[in-house]
Amino acid sequence: MENRFGFKDFVVVVLLLAIVVMLGLKMKQDDRQWSQLMSLHTKLDQQTRDITTLRRSLSEGALSISPREGGGGVIENDVFRRVREVREREDYATGDWLIDWMPSAPPKLNFMTGEDLYHRYAMYKVMESLGGTDFETLETVPYLARGWKVSPDGLSLDVELRTNVTFSDGEPMTADDVVYTWMNLLKNEEITDGQTRAFYSVVSKVEKLDSYTVRFSFEKVHYANVDRALGVPIHPKHFYKRFTDREIREHPAMLIGTGPYRLPDPLKYAPGEPVELVRNERYWGPPGPWDRIIYRVIENDSATLIAFRNGELDMFRATPEQQVDMVKDKELLRTKQNWIHDTFEAGYYYVGWNQVRGGKKTVFADKRVRQAMTMLIDRERLTSELLHGLAVVADGPFPRDGPQHSPSVEPLPYDPERAVELLLEAGFKRDAAGRMIQPDGQPFEATLLYSSGSEMVEKLALFLKDNLARGGINLKLDPQKWALMLKNLNENNFDLQISGWGGGSIEGDLDQVFHSRNIAEGDNTIAYSNPELDALLDEAKITLDEDERMKIWHKVHEIVHEDQPYTFLYSRKYLLWLDDRIKNVERLPVFGINYLYAGPAPLEWYVPKPLQERGQ
């Protein structure tokens, strides 16, 4: 008999392999059962502890049922003002799940090391800060704090904390946690990255005055000091001090806070998996409306739309192309609601005209030329045709409906004749062929620098080329990879460029982009210098009175409008689609909608009981 490896042997080998695989799977199954058991165990433990504490408090008579007493009960104008009214409604109900999506997986979820935009979606549902923003009045209102007092010299801030705040594991929040968050976590070079640290460097020290009072000390006077100090989410000292700096730095999760939702296990997160938040049953404030909030990661645009159509997602933010198709879809409109809104978060796109190149003034150094350029660009047509009407023309760095916007500023009109007039005034000539000739005799030619890889920006560039051609200007296009473009911007090595700034805060500071001291090192890549503007910007920084400061911003806006260092193009609108069953979606100025993606705010949307779909 030949000892050959025949078919029968093959079958035996396959069967053996199958058995091994089954054993492996069985072990995996056992593991999962084990972890389920353990989590049940922990839950039971926690509940027993809660009941014991309750029992003890009751027997000692220290517990009173009235919710308005005790330190930090109902503060009339705190961040929950609107939510309390919503909860009074007849059809208000808690329950159901909210399923949102992220187009890319956040590598880290916590505040210190999370660097992308999307981690904030989940993070701010789990963590809260000392102060929040009222959606209507735009004021900073008490959140975890009860109140605060700024010293007369503007260099220190005393904050009084609520006494009834607990973290999601039951431990109370005290001044120690606030101090730890700032001094041991936020300012720790080994943990927090340079960008975040630089942003909060205005706060030089945080110290504990007593168990529920802290004092912030600032380096210098700045109107944003208070907001920045109050805007940092508070981390629990008892949780973080168990870990080394390196572990905190490298861990993808470590998300635990005082908020209405929590990660089931603060240490468990695998980037790419959906982020699942469950309601914090121990929450100290009005309970969150949703049982669960889930963030799925779907990178592909069309897959996301299909998932939304299928009902696998409750929220969807459309691109302009998708929006145009979706509004024609009757089936979709039957079960979904569509909210097109402006928001300060959208920022703006602009054309930057470089005024100094290679040490010499360029043709754009004359403000008449810049004004002419703006009037040559048909921005209305840009927003209505290229962007399908889904953006609004920008006339400055401030949102139209915001308090910093000057009431007297309107966008410059599209007026090519007036533009040509201005150019002729500035010493240009038009030759027989219609070309614009510069004062030095050269034909007016310029190269537009923009980032390759975006279809939208490509269209913008071509649009610009066409518009400028009507003024006799030959625009050459130079798309570059982002990194190279940044390098050229930093070195002032360009004629004009298109890019955008994101909107980060409600009251934006123009220092970085327009102050002359930021030409060499900062983001003033167009070498714009106006001493009057510089002085106003410096003054605004230290003007703590809000009304006075707004007057300064109005003047700033007017100067920027007159000087046109940028031609402000547009701010895109957010194209929000929601499932119909979600109620209480409301339009608001500046915020746009009563939902904040990347900041701490109580949740106002809910699903009435009869419409709820998903269980616990």
Partner 1 sequence: MGTYLLRRAILMIPTLLGVTIVVFGVMSAAPGDIAEMLISREGMMQPGDRAARVEYIRERYGLDDPAVVQYFRWLHKVSPIGVFIDDGERNNGVGVPVGETEKQETRRFGLKVPDFGESFIKNRPVLDLIGEALPVTLILNLISIPFVYGLAILTGLYSARHRGTALDVGTGVTMLGLWSIPTIWAGVLLIGFLANRQYVQWFPTAGLHSLRADTMAFLPSFEAGAFQRGWLLDALWHLTLPVICLSYGGLAFLSKLSRGAVLENLRADFVRTARAKGVPENDVLWHHVFRNSLLPLITVAAYIVPGLLAGSVIVETIFSIHGMGKLVVESIEFKDQEVVMAVTLISGLLAIASYLLADLLYAVADPRVSYE
Q: Which of 13, 37, 267, 303 binds partner 1 (CB under 8 A)?
A: 303
Q: Which of 310, 358, 417, 441 binds partner 1 (CB under 8 A)?
A: 310
Shortest gap between Cβ of 376 and partner 1 (angstroms)?
25
- 262 pairs with which residues across the strands? 278
Which residues, other chains included, contact 564 with Cβ-Cβ below 8 Å and sequence gap of 6+?
353, 367, 370, 371, 373, 374, 412
Which residues, other chains included, contact 223 with Cβ-Cβ below 8 Å and sequence gap of 6+?
507, 540, 541, 542, 543, 544, 549
C-beta of residue 235 within 8 angstroms of C-beta of residue 111: yes
- 205 pairs with which residues across the strands? 217
Shortest gap between Cβ of 92 and partner 1 (angstroms)?
25
Residues 188-227 contacting partner 1, CB under 8 A: 193-195, 197-199
296 touches partner 1 (CB under 8 A) = yes
542 touches partner 1 (CB under 8 A) = no
Which residues, other chains included, contact 235 with Cβ-Cβ below 8 Å and sequence gap of 6+?
111, 127, 177, 180, 181, 185, 256, 257
Site string for partner 1, 494-533 (x = CB under 8 A): -----xxxx-x------xxx-------xxx----------
Residues 76-135 contacting partner 1, CB under 8 A: 99, 103-105, 107-108, 113, 115-117
Shortest gap between Cβ of 67 and partner 1 (angstroms)?
34
479 touches partner 1 (CB under 8 A) = no
The string of DSSP codes covering 243-265 is: S-HHHHHH-S-----SSSEE-SS
Burial group, residue 442, by CB count within 10 angstroms (0-12, 13-18, 19+) = exposed
Shortest gap between Cβ of 497 and partner 1 (angstroms)?
14
- 587 pairs with which residues across the strands? 593
Shortest gap between Cβ of 206 and partner 1 (angstroms)?
20
C-beta of residue 449 within 8 angstroms of C-beta of residue 483: no
Q: Which is nearer to partner 1, 274 or 416 (CB)?
A: 274
Length of the chain (residues) = 616
Shortest gap between Cβ of 588 and partner 1 (angstroms)?
22
Q: Which is nearer to partner 1, 161 or 556 (CB)?
A: 556
CA pair distance 13, 34, nearest whole angstrom: 32
Shortest gap between Cβ of 457 and partner 1 (angstroms)?
9
597 touches partner 1 (CB under 8 A) = no
Q: Which is nearer to partner 1, 156 or 571 (CB)?
A: 571
Size of the site for partner 1 (CB under 8 A): 66
Q: Which of 276, 336, 273, 347 is nearest to 305 (CA)?
A: 336
Q: Which of 132, 231, 347, 599 binds partner 1 (CB under 8 A)?
A: 347
Shortest gap between Cβ of 402 and partner 1 (angstroms)?
16
Token code pair at residue 93: 């109900």
375 touches partner 1 (CB under 8 A) = no
Secondary structure (H, E, C), 47-86: HHHHHHHHHHHHHHCCCCCCCCCCCCCCCCCCCCHHHHHH
Shortest gap between Cβ of 37 and partner 1 (angstroms)?
13
CA pair distance 214, 237, nearest whole angstrom: 15
Shortest gap between Cβ of 501 and partner 1 (angstroms)?
6
50 touches partner 1 (CB under 8 A) = no
Where would I find the H helices in 169-274? 175-179, 194-199, 225-230, 237-240, 245-250
300 touches partner 1 (CB under 8 A) = yes
Q: Which is nearer to partner 1, 61 or 502 (CB)?
A: 502
Question: Which residue type occupies 220?
Answer: K
Interaction site with partner 1 (CB under 8 A): 25, 28-29, 32, 99, 103-105, 107-108, 113, 115-117, 193-195, 197-199, 244, 249-250, 252, 270-274, 276, 294, 296-300, 302-303, 306-307, 309-312, 331, 347, 451, 454, 481-484, 486-487, 490, 499-502, 504, 511-513, 521-523
